[in-house]
Structure 1
Amino acid sequence: MRLWLIIPVLMAAVLGARAPYAQQVNFVIDATLPVRETELPYQLNLNLTAVAPTRIGVGALLDLREMQKIVPEKLADNAIIDNCGLQVRLDDISFRAKDDAIDLDGEVTVTIFECSRTSERDFQRGQEKNAILANMSTEATVELRDNCAYFKLIDLTLTAPEAQREQVLEDDTLESVKELMLAAVDLVLNETPLCPELPSELASLDPKYEKGGPREIGEGGLGVFLDGSVDVSPSTILDILTVLQQQELIPGRP
C-alpha cells in the first residue's frame, strides 16, 4: 500500500478515530469558542480522505447545537445598543438552520431618551420619550476568510405593533435602529470567528479550507461545514510517524 494511503489510517490510530475504509478517517473533537468572557462549546467532526498522492481532502462539520441552546439565554435582556438617546434590548431570540441558511427571530425593546449635551464631548441621558416592542427577523450566512468561518447577517427586519406603526413610520425610528443594529452585530460577529484548531497530534497537517457555509443538522440544528485539503509533505509524514513512535504504536528508531 502506498504511503499516502496509509497516512489517514496512522492518524486514526493516534486519535482513536473510526476508519470506515483505508482511505478515510472520521473523528470528533470537543472545542470552545471564546466570546468575550464566555466559552461556548461546540464539536468539530473531521473527515480525512485520501484524494491524491500528495493531498488529503478535509471535510470539517462544526456542530453548534449546544451553542444554539446557550446563546439565546446569554443574550436575553441584554442591550446591544446603549447610548445617550437610544437603548435597544434583546428580549427574546431564537435561531435555527434551514438547509443552507440560518433564520433568526425574536423581540427587541427600542427605548428612546432625551439627550442633552453637557460639554464638548459629554452627553447626559434624560427622560424616556418612547418605547417600542418590535418583532425582529433576519437571516444569516457564513463567510470563509483566512481559514475561519464568520457569521454575517444578510438583512434585518423590524416590525412595530399596529398601535405604534403610524408614529414609527412617520419619524423613521425603526429604519434608523435597524442600521445601528446591523453595524453593532456585525462588529461583534467579526470579533468572534470560528477558527477550528486541530489537536496537537494533527497540528502539522495545517489544512487549508477553500469553501464553507451553514449546514442544517437534524431538524433545525445549527452547523457549519468547511471543505479543504492538506498538503502531505515529507515533514508532515515524519511528524505523524514521530507521534506514533512516542505513543509506542509503532517501533522506534533502531
Structure 2
Amino acid sequence: MRHWLIFPVLMAAVLDARAPSAQQVDFVVDATLPVRDTELPYTLDLNLAAVAPTRIGVGALLDLREIQKTVPERLADNAIVDNCGLQARLDDLSFGAQGDAIDLDGDVTITIFECSRTSERNFQRGEQKKAILANMSTEATVELRDNCAYFKLIDLTLTAPEEQREQLLDDDTLDSVKELMLAAVDLVLNDTPLCPKLPAELASLDPVYDNGGPKEIGEGGLGVFLEGSVDVSPSTILDILTVLQRQELIPGPP
C-alpha cells in the first residue's frame, strides 16, 4: 500500500483520532496561549488529509471562544495608556467574529492630569484636570508570520459625548489617545502570537502554514484558521512507526 494511504491511518492509531476516511484524520488538542504571567486555554482542531503521494494537507482551526470569554474580564479597569499627563483605562470590552473579520467595541475612560517636569528626564503627575468617557470601536485581522498567527488592529475609532467633542477636537486629545492606544495594543499583540504546536507524537511533521485568517465559529465565536501542508518523507513515517512500536500498537522490530 502507498505511504500516502498508510500515513493518515497511522496518525489515527497514534493519537486515538477520529478517522472519517482512510485518507483523512481529524483530532482535537487542548492548548494554551502564554500572555505575560498567565496562560489562556484554547482548542486546536487539526485535520490531516492526503493530497499527494509525498504530501499531507494540514488544516488547523484554533477555537478561541474560551479566550473570548476570559479576556474582557481580565482587561476590565486596566490602563491601556498610563503616562504623566494622560491615562486611558479600558472599562468594558466585547469582541467577536463576523465572517472573516473581528469586531471590537468598548468603553474607555480618558483622564487628563496636570504634569510638571521635575528634572531633565523626570516628570510628576499632578491634579486631575478632566475625565472623559469615550467609546472605542475597531476591527482586527490575522497576519501569518513564521508559522504563527498574529492579531493586528486595522484601525481604531474613538468617539466622545457631543458636549465634550468640540473641546477634544480643538486640543487633539482623541487623536493623541488613539495613536497611543494603537501603539500599546500592537505591542501586546506582537508579543502574544498564536503558534500552534503539535503533540509530541507529531512534532517531526513540522507543518508549514501558508494561509490563515479569522473564522467565525457558531454565532460570533472567535476562531482562527490555518492552512498548509507537510512533506512526508520515509524518515517521518519511520518516526511514526517507532511511536506505534513504543506504544505496542504494532509489533516491534524482529
TM-score bucket (shorter structure):
over 0.9
Q: Could you tell me which residue of structure 1 aligns to residue 170 of structure 2?
A: 170
Report Cα offsets for 1:79-118 as digits up to 9, x if no partner: 0111111101000000010000000000000111111111
Q: Could you tell me which residue of structure 1 aligns to residue 160 of structure 2?
A: 160
Is 1:73 equivalent to 2:55 in the alignment?
no
Q: Could you say what secondary structure the match of 2:67 adopts?
A: helix
Q: Could you tell me which residue of structure 1 aligns to residue 49 of structure 2?
A: 49
Structure 1: stretches of 5+ with no match in the other structure: none
Q: Could you tell me which residue of structure 1 aligns to residue 190 of structure 2?
A: 190
Q: Which amino acid aligns with 2:243?
A: V
- Quick one: distance in 2 between partners of 1:149 and 1:20? 28
- Quick one: distance in 2 between partners of 1:80 and 1:159? 17
- Quick one: distance in 1 between partners of 2:216 and 2:89? 28
Q: Could you say what secondary structure the match of 1:158 adopts?
A: strand
Is 1:134 equivalent to 2:134 in the alignment?
yes
CA shift, 1:56, in A, is 0.2
Is 1:199 equivalent to 2:204 in the alignment?
no
Report Cα offsets for 1:30-65 as digits up to 9, x if no partner: 000010011100000000000001100000000000
- Quick one: distance in 2 between partners of 1:110 and 1:104? 18
- The residue correspondences of 1:89-168 to structure 2 (distance < 5 A) are 89-168=89-168
Q: Could you say what secondary structure the match of 1:242 adopts?
A: helix
CA shift, 1:153, in A, is 0.2
Q: TM-score, normalised by structure 2?
A: 0.99
Q: Which amino acid aligns with 2:19?
A: A
Q: Could you say what secondary structure the match of 1:235 adopts?
A: helix
Q: Could you tell me which residue of structure 2 aligns to residue 179 of structure 1?
A: 179
- Quick one: distance in 2 between partners of 1:178 and 1:93? 16
CA shift, 1:166, in A, is 1.2
CA shift, 1:129, in A, is 1.0
Q: Which amino acid aligns with 2:80?
A: I
Q: Could you say what secondary structure the match of 1:184 adopts?
A: helix
CA shift, 1:122, in A, is 0.8
Q: Which amino acid aligns with 2:236?
A: T
- Quick one: distance in 2 between partners of 1:72 and 1:9? 41
Q: Could you tell me which residue of structure 1 aligns to residue 228 of structure 2?
A: 228
CA shift, 1:4, in A, is 1.6
Q: Could you say what secondary structure the match of 2:92 adopts?
A: strand
Q: Could you say what secondary structure the match of 2:7 adopts?
A: helix
Q: Could you say what secondary structure the match of 1:156 adopts?
A: strand
Q: Could you say what secondary structure the match of 1:132 adopts?
A: strand
Report Cα offsets for 1:175-200 as digits up to 9, x if no partner: 11101100100000000000000010
- The residue correspondences of 1:23-38 to structure 2 (distance < 5 A) are 23-38=23-38
Q: Could you tell me which residue of structure 1 aligns to residue 83 of structure 2?
A: 83
CA shift, 1:120, in A, is 1.2
- Quick one: distance in 1 between partners of 2:9 and 2:74? 41
Q: TM-score, normalised by structure 1?
A: 0.99
How many residues align? The count is 254
- Quick one: distance in 2 between partners of 1:64 and 1:5? 32
Q: Could you tell me which residue of structure 2 aligns to residue 238 of structure 1?
A: 238
- Quick one: distance in 1 between partners of 2:250 and 2:131? 69
- Quick one: distance in 2 between partners of 1:85 and 1:230? 52
